[in-house]
Structure 1
């Protein structure tokens, strides 16, 4: 594992001297993934890092385009929002992610543990207030077709907190079980039904908690037990998440990509759980404070899914590709 980290640190150093990669000109589906971006509960209700990440997102979307933004939770630190009129929607979200290029791009929302400390129903209700905030249910599915092709993408958005339980970042950190077992079982059954029925060439799943992570929170035991076997059984392309406040890319022995994008608001360097992740899974890790976080840009064409990690300033930290499940 140590050699793997050194190798990808060297690769990151190589990429630091290059601007973000040009995109494939083929017809494609394009989106940004950002996690753990939710400001702070004190004036000015955002962080410097969040504003830099938001500014870079605006520039990248203006340059390359985006069909949507995917959030992977912790949208409002530290205790979510109180109701649909909560001023944090404006001060932490609308007033920060305000680039012209982002104004008409839909945001598909998932909730994190800090969102569940507040009123998640209010975040769902905010979908009726903001035309770009799309949060129909705690968990839901989306289907897309790549323009001018018959190649399709399915995205399943989970609520990992109701699935696994809430976590206390300052105590154990590991969710200790769902608050409502029946609700958790229903979501798990829904997930398997959707995975089983998927015929799309690309099958993506997103949630807040990571399946695999080498950092502070580490792998999520509940997801390894109940969800990872389904990913392998139904040939999922990738799982996108946050929770740990850094950027990671891991890939398992089945070829499933694990995209961790949790550096939208804070950066925390930790390799606390590197020995809890199977040898060879970690392909990229970035948690340098001076880089001020970052996000992930995804482009899906008929031939491949390109995943690019981008920091404020427009530099690409790492890029990798995954392939369709079948053609």
Structure 2
């Protein structure tokens, strides 16, 4: 497979040190006459178990229907403890042998999750994995330029202080990251520089950890304090993450920086049964498996969430020229502001915001 060699032009070399240099920039070719289309999946690597294979099957169908250009992974690519080496058979069992649909043979751009840090991080970042499957493009933090969309992939695990000070029985591979403070300071500077240089119509940040979430992990305070100001200052449109094993859409109530927060972490194990509202506007919450699609056509962006049966649960669109948000009606109508709505699928709960 020669996808990586064919589709990727690296403008700047990868960081020789995590505390120095600019972020790697990858050019992803996009046909000028068609929209950019992609799928987003997170928290998936469980050797096909916990419905990972079922989600992958539906991803293949949707990818074929819309003819995607790429796949974005929001991290926790290999659960529970990352990869042990570049020869770890989990790479085949959780990735190569699961996402086999012809429509998914596109570049996969991946960030690391906290569980990935519990293995040999350098193995997961090793370009040798691309010799096994050239779709697999995983780095700590980097930029993908795709037509009028710039994706800023952010390594969010080092931000979580508890992983450093109170890891419990878990071991985190902080090679090339420690000391934490210097790593985060330089990463934020590099992100700010890259975002300010961007002339793309749409700016999308991708990380593993939640910025805003109503599920079990909730809001990540370190990201709100350290990363969010950089996103706001650079007019980032979307922040997409995993970490919580669910599907979510939350809108910022900050009229000066109306970021849309999307969680796509339903790639395998889900159904945690936790719902904790926060201060921003909840548009949609689904406590189950699934994935998300994103389409960008000029100044119009559209996101759709799908469940394990391929049913579209929620969609959202935004025209930048009109700044007009168009929310599609939820599957069922809710009389109260937020309520649990039962679908025609067994034991599934969907939370949606009513139009009232």
Q: For this structure pair, what is the TM-score category when the shorter chain's length is used for normalisation?
A: 0.7 to 0.9
Shift of 1:179: 5.5
Larger Rg: 2
Could you list the runs of 5+ residues in structure 2 that have no partner in the other structure?
1-32, 324-356
Task: Find the counterpart in structure 1 of residue 309 from structure 2.
Answer: 313
Q: CA RMSD in A?
A: 2.5
User: How far apart are the structure 2 equivalents of 1:112 and 1:178?
Assistant: 17
User: How far apart are the structure 2 equivalents of 1:270 and 1:226?
Assistant: 29
Residue by residue, what CA displacement relative to the aligned partner does 1:90-134 show, whole Å, maximum 9, x if unpaired?
01111111112212x010010100000001211111234321111
Task: Find the counterpart in structure 2 of residue 69 from structure 1.
Answer: 71
Report whether the alignment pairs 1:186 with 2:186: yes
User: How far apart are the structure 1 equivalents of 2:89 and 2:194?
Assistant: 36
User: How far apart are the structure 1 equivalents of 2:154 and 2:321?
Assistant: 21
Task: Find the counterpart in structure 2 of residue 17 from structure 1.
Answer: none
- 1:297 aligned to which of 287, 293, 299: 293
Structure 1 segments of 4+ aligned residues over 6 angstroms from their partners = 168-171
Task: Find the counterpart in structure 2 of residue 127 from structure 1.
Answer: 130
Taking structure 1 as reference, are residues 56 and 81 closer, same or farther at Cα in structure 2, changes over 3 Å only?
same
Contact 1:212–1:218 at 8 Å: present in 2 too? yes
Task: Find the counterpart in structure 2 of residue 264 from structure 1.
Answer: 267
Residue by residue, what CA displacement relative to the aligned partner does 1:119-150 show, whole Å, maximum 9, x if unpaired?
12111112343211112x311001011xxxxx
Shift of 1:48: 4.2
Aligned residue runs from structure 1 range 1-327, under 5 A: 27-39=34-46, 45-103=47-105, 105-125=106-126, 126-135=129-138, 137-145=139-147, 152-165=148-161, 167=163, 180-253=180-253, 254-274=257-277, 277-279=278-280, 281-288=281-288, 293-324=289-320
Question: Does the residue aligned with 2:115 lie in a helix, a strand or coil?
Answer: helix
**Bigger fraction of residues in strand:** 2
Aligned length: 279
User: How far apart are the structure 1 equivalents of 2:141 and 2:272?
Assistant: 30
Taking structure 1 as reference, are residues 190 and 323 closer, same or farther at Cα in structure 2, changes over 3 Å only?
farther
Taking structure 1 as reference, are residues 165 and 179 closer, same or farther at Cα in structure 2, changes over 3 Å only?
farther
Contact 2:188–2:230 at 8 Å: present in 1 too? no
Taking structure 1 as reference, are residues 311 and 179 closer, same or farther at Cα in structure 2, changes over 3 Å only?
farther
Taking structure 1 as reference, are residues 270 and 233 closer, same or farther at Cα in structure 2, changes over 3 Å only?
farther
Higher relative contact order (CA 8 A, sep 6+): 1
User: How far apart are the structure 1 equivalents of 2:66 and 2:141?
Assistant: 29
Question: Does the residue aligned with 1:63 lie in a helix, a strand or coil?
Answer: helix
User: How far apart are the structure 2 equivalents of 1:112 and 1:325?
Assistant: 35
Could you list the runs of 5+ residues in structure 1 that have no partner in the other structure?
1-25, 40-44, 146-151
Shift of 1:282: 1.0
Residue by residue, what CA displacement relative to the aligned partner does 1:184-222 show, whole Å, maximum 9, x if unpaired?
211111111112222110000000001101111110011
Shift of 1:273: 3.2
Q: TM-score, normalised by structure 1?
A: 0.80
